[in-house]
């Protein structure tokens, strides 16, 4: 086989493998960002965290908040929800960072597989 | 008084696959990541083989409850693959799966297939879910691709497919209604096959639950009574994929085939990911390694 083609195919296979691993990590992070609170389902992302913090800054202690399934949830303590959201966000992003760093250093399939 | 929370597995051996051995592995993963009691539901023959083939200590460590059933199983021959190049057929005993509501010793139950390996604690949060029943309604391959058409809908213009691989349920009236509906569909399978136009002679509980969800949702696709694990995907390692190597208990290297061109594979590092190992022979091949890791506590 032409060496140029061999190298191109090798890189193509590497790209396919690393992209798949990246998708695995993103799926895992998305799961870690889900927070169940008082029967509601919230996603610990920038938008939710900022919104809950805004309500707290405006001196609200409790509020009805629409969850990610479009259901109204009476949140008795916005502070408790904010803590849960920030915890979930932090553990998700920490895991994301660790796994992402590992992948960034992996220059071949063997390294991606941790062999 | 039933124990509050726990996990159940059905395992009926056939002449090709040692389901109870695979159930031991699945149970040990549940103990590691979910830290919940485990119940094995099996028949006399499989239980005798379990006691003959495995040390008592291992059985006791794996299962807190063993329920023996003597349900008559439907003749149900299933073709299995072990890589794209090898296949075999075996009797698939699944026609009493809806009876889990009766057999489970728990108030809140997570029913898992023995080839579903829990490598995270994600499922724990659904014990606090507002849904009385939860199942996956979408799946991905280990290449993060959608599964074959027939595993997304019951036929081309058919209803959405729900997976019976992982079922969470409580003891509510709605849960009872769900399992009764499933039983009715199982009893009248040929009629529902005609009505919903799904293929194959194989009795699939996935089809039964899909139809039950559709019926209980007012024959609409947008029902809200049954949870779908927050829209997350069931990750399926296909029967044509394989486990190449295990690096300890949680990090596995898989080889994943291309659905259109079987011979084109990529490697996948599966770590921190709950996974449905549909190639049961591949799982059976790594059982000795996994048991050793469990013994070492790695």
Q: Which residue of B267, B270, B274 is the best one to mutate when testing the A interface, meaning the one whose CB has the most A CBs within 10 A? A: B267
User: What is the sign of the dihedral through the CA atoms of B218, B219, B222 and B224?
Assistant: positive
Q: Cα dist. B260→B147, B253, B265 in Å? A: 11, 22, 11
Closest chain B CA to residue A12: B266
Name the residue facing B253 among A31, A95, A113 (closest C-beta): A113
Q: pLDDT tier at A5 (50, 70, 90 boundaries)? A: confident
Count of other CB atoms within 10 angstroms of residue B179:
20
Residues B125, A21: C-beta atoms closer than 8 Å: no
At B228, give phi and psi (nearest 5°).
Answer: -120, 35
In order along its 298 residues, chain B shows pLDDT tens digits of: 678 999 999 999 999 999 999 999 999 999 999 999 999 999 999 999 999 999 999 999 999 999 999 998 988 999 999 999 999 999 999 999 999 999 999 999 999 999 999 999 999 999 998 899 999 999 999 999 999 888 999 998 899 999 999 999 999 999 999 999 999 999 999 999 999 999 878 899 999 999 999 999 988 877 888 999 999 999 999 999 999 999 999 999 999 999 888 888 999 999 989 999 999 999 999 999 999 999 987 6
Q: Which residue of B33, B126, B130 is the best one to mutate when testing the A interface, meaning the one whose CB has the most A CBs within 10 A? A: B130
CB B166 within 8 A of CB B139: no
As a residue count, chain B comes to 298
- In angstroms, the separation between the Cα of residue A101 and the nearest Cα of chain B is 15
Burial of B5 per CB tally in 10 Å (0-12, 13-18, 19+)? middle
**Cα–Cα distance measured from residue B131 to residue A103, given in angstroms and rounded to the nearest whole number:** 37
Closest chain A CA to residue B125: A36
At B77, give phi and psi (nearest 5°).
Answer: -85, 130
Residues B233, A27: C-beta atoms closer than 8 Å: yes
Q: Pairing mode, if any, of strands B133-136 and B163-169? A: antiparallel
- For A7-41, how does the pLDDT look when each residue is reduced to its tens digit (9 = 90+)? 888 888 898 999 999 999 999 999 999 999 999 99
Taking the Cβ of residue B291 and every Cβ of chain A, the question of whether any pair is shorter than 8 Å is answered with no
Query: Which residues contact residue B107 at a Cβ distance below 8 angstroms, ignoring those fewer than 6 apart?
Result: B2, B3, B4, B5, B170, B171
Give the CA angle between residues A77, A43, B120 to the nearest 5°: 105
Residue B252, classed as helix, strand or coil, is strand
Q: Pairing mode, if any, of strands B3-10 and B234-237? A: unpaired
CB-CB neighbors (< 8 A) of A112 in chain B: 267, 269
Residues A24, B144: C-beta atoms closer than 8 Å: yes
Which B residues, 258 through 277, put their C-beta within 8 Å of a C-beta on chain A? 266-270, 272-273
Q: Cα dist. A104→A15, A22, A96 in Å? A: 12, 10, 12
A19-23 long-range CB contacts below 8 Å, 24 or more apart?
Answer: A20/B142, A20/B143, A20/B144, A20/B266, A20/B268, A21/A103, A21/A112, A21/B268, A21/B269, A22/A100, A22/A103, A23/B144
Q: Cα dist. B245→B95, B285, B286 in Å? A: 34, 10, 8
Residues B268, A23: C-beta atoms closer than 8 Å: no
CB-CB neighbors (< 8 A) of B254 in chain A: none
Residues B269, A113: C-beta atoms closer than 8 Å: yes
Burial A32-55 (b: 16+ CB within 10 A, else e): bbbbbbbebbbbbeeebbebbeeb
Residues B266, A115: C-beta atoms closer than 8 Å: no
- For B197-229, how does the pLDDT look when each residue is reduced to its tens digit (9 = 90+)? 998 788 999 999 999 999 999 888 778 889 999
**Cα–Cα distance measured from residue B169 to residue B127, given in angstroms and rounded to the nearest whole number:** 8
Exposure of B42 in the CB half-sphere (CA atoms within 13 A)? 27
């Amino acid at each position: 086989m032409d060496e140029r083609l061999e190298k191109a195919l090798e890189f193509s296979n590497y790209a396919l493998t690393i992209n798949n691993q990246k998708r695995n990590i993103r799926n895992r992070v998305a799961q870690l960002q889900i927070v169940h609170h008082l029967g509601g389902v919230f996603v610990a992302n920038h938008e939710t965290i900022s919104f809950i913090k805004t309500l707290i800054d405006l001196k609200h202690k409790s509020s009805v908040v629409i969850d990610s399934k479009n259901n109204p949830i009476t949140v008795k303590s916005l502070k408790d929800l904010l803590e849960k959201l920030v915890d979930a966000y932090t553990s998700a992003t920490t895991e994301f960072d660790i796994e992402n760093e590992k992948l960034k250093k992996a220059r071949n399939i063997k390294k991606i597989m941790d062999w | 008084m039933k124990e509050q929370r726990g996990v159940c597995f059905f395992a009926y051996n056939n002449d090709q696959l040692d389901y109870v051995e695979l159930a031991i592995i699945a149970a040990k993963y549940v103990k590691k990541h979910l830290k919940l009691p485990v119940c094995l539901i099996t028949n006399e023959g499989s239980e005798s083989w379990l006691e003959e083939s495995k040390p008592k200590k291992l059985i006791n460590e794996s299962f807190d409850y063993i329920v023996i059933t003597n349900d008559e199983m439907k003749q149900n021959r299933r073709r299995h693959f072990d890589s794209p190049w090898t296949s075999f057929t075996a009797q698939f005993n699944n026609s009493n799966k809806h009876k889990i509501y009766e057999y489970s010793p728990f108030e809140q139950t997570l029913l898992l297939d023995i080839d579903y390996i829990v490598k995270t604690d994600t499922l724990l949060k659904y014990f606090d879910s507002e849904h009385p029943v939860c199942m996956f309604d979408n799946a991905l391959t280990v290449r993060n691709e959608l599964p074959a058409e027939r595993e997304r809908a019951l036929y081309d213009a058919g209803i959405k497919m729900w997976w019976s691989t992982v079922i969470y349920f409580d003891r509510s009236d709605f849960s009872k209604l769900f399992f009764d509906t499933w039983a009715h569909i199982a009893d009248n399978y040929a009629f529902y096959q005609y009505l919903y136009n799904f293929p194959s002679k194989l009795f699939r509980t996935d089809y039964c639950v899909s139809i039950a969800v559709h019926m209980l949702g007012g024959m609409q696709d947008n029902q809200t009574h049954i949870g779908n694990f927050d829209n997350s995907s069931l990750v399926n390692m296909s029967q044509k994929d394989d486990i190449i190597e295990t690096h300890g208990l949680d990090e596995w290297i898989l080889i994943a085939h291309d659905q259109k061109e079987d011979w084109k594979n990529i490697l996948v590092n599966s770590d921190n990911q709950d996974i449905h190992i549909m190639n049961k022979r591949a799982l059976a091949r790594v059982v000795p390694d996994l048991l050793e890791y469990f013994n070492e506590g790695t």
